[in-house]
């Protein structure tokens, strides 16, 4: 998320010209862009659309700038949404080049549409509360309180499935005031005071330290979210897309993810 010819006998020059004529069509049969994804076959700049899970919004904003600086001629556009929304876009044939989801289940459901996925990061859940944690939420069991307004992501969303998994494991029954389409909407409800608490990724709570508090969930009670990245088979810039996916595993990109709170793959 840049020879000139000396004089030769006529017969030899003609032969050389014929050889060049044969090689030109072969070169034209190569990939639609160069090996490092900087230019397409016509030497034009390359634009890549990256569909990314909502929880990657901030870190990918940083990553796209770094990638463009490192790869002049490549423009990265990140489109962030819930993983289930991104999957629907891919199935509908939306023009895009790379997909990064917040779970392997969603990616596995698109095997016919993607290249081989690579897990680039992992994440964990926390309970986000209003600033100062006025309701004194200490853990998952507190979310079952009848007086507590809790917001969760919908069960079709990765973070919603992870939330249900950890709550069920602890035998906690929650009646959410709403179920949201992505993790950022859950966070927003808590930030705005429309909910007392919600379950989000650790990295999302970290984006709003002055607006929410994060209550840690012990590892034994938590769930691990994996983030696979893959090229899309419908991409018109396949080499550039592959180069970006490969770059996400480089030390530079991995440092950005660690700095944002994501865990190692």
Structural domain range at position 93: 46-120+227-259
Together in a domain, 155 and 207: yes
Query: Among the listed ranges 41-50, 67-76, 228-237, which one has the minimum average pLDDT value?
Result: 41-50
Q: How many domains does the chain have?
A: 2
Together in a domain, 75 and 202: no
Please tell me the pTM assigned to this model: 0.82
Q: Give the per-residue pLDDT at 36.
A: 53
Together in a domain, 159 and 185: yes
Q: Is 83 annotated as a binding residue?
A: yes
CATH number at 66 reads 3.40.190.10
Together in a domain, 105 and 172: no
Q: Does residue 162 register a pLDDT over 90?
A: yes
264 is a domain residue:
no
Task: Please write the tens of the pLDDT for every residue from 13-39.
Answer: 333 333 333 333 333 333 444 445 455
Together in a domain, 209 and 249: no
Together in a domain, 51 and 96: yes
14 is a domain residue:
no
Task: Please write the tens of the pLDDT for every residue from 46-94.
Answer: 999 999 999 999 999 999 999 999 999 999 999 999 999 999 999 999 9
Together in a domain, 93 and 57: yes
Q: Does residue 108 register a pLDDT over 50?
A: yes
Name the nearest CA neighbour of 160 among 128, 201, 212, 190: 201
Long-range contacts of 2-6 (CB under 8 A, 24+ apart): 2/38, 2/39, 2/71, 2/72, 2/73
Q: Give the per-residue pLDDT at 146.
A: 85
Percent residues over pLDDT 90 in the chain: 82
Q: How many CB atoms lie within 10 A of CB 148?
A: 17
Q: Is 183 annotated as a binding residue?
A: yes
């Amino acid at each position: 998320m840049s020879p000139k010819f000396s004089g030769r006998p006529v017969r030899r020059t003609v032969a050389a010209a014929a050889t060049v004529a044969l090689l030109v069509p072969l070169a034209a049969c190569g990939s639609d862009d160069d090996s490092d994804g900087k230019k397409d076959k016509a030497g034009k700049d390359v634009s890549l659309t990256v569909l990314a899970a909502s929880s990657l919004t901030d870190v990918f904003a940083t990553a796209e700038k770094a990638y463009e600086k490192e790869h002049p001629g490549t423009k990265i556009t990140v489109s962030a949404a819930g993983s289930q929304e991104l999957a629907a876009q891919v199935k509908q044939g939306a023009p895009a080049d790379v997909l990064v989801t917040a779970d392997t289940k969603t990616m596995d459901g698109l095997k016919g549409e993607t290249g081989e996925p690579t897990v680039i990061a992992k994440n964990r859940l926390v309970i986000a509360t209003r600033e100062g944690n006025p309701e004194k939420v200490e853990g998952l069991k507190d979310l079952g309180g009848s007086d507590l307004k809790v917001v969760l992501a919908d069960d079709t969303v990765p973070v919603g499935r992870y939330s249900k998994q950890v709550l069920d494991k602890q035998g906690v029954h929650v009646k959410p005031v709403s179920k949201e389409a992505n993790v950022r909407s859950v966070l927003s409800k808590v930030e705005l005071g429309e909910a007392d608490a919600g379950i989000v990724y650790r990295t999302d709570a970290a984006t709003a330290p002055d607006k929410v508090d994060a209550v840690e969930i012990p590892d034994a009670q938590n769930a691990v979210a994996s983030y696979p990245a893959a090229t899309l088979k419908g991409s018109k810039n396949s080499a550039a897309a592959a180069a970006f996916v490969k770059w996400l595993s480089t030390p530079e990109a991995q440092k950005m993810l660690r700095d944002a709170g994501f865990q190692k793959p």
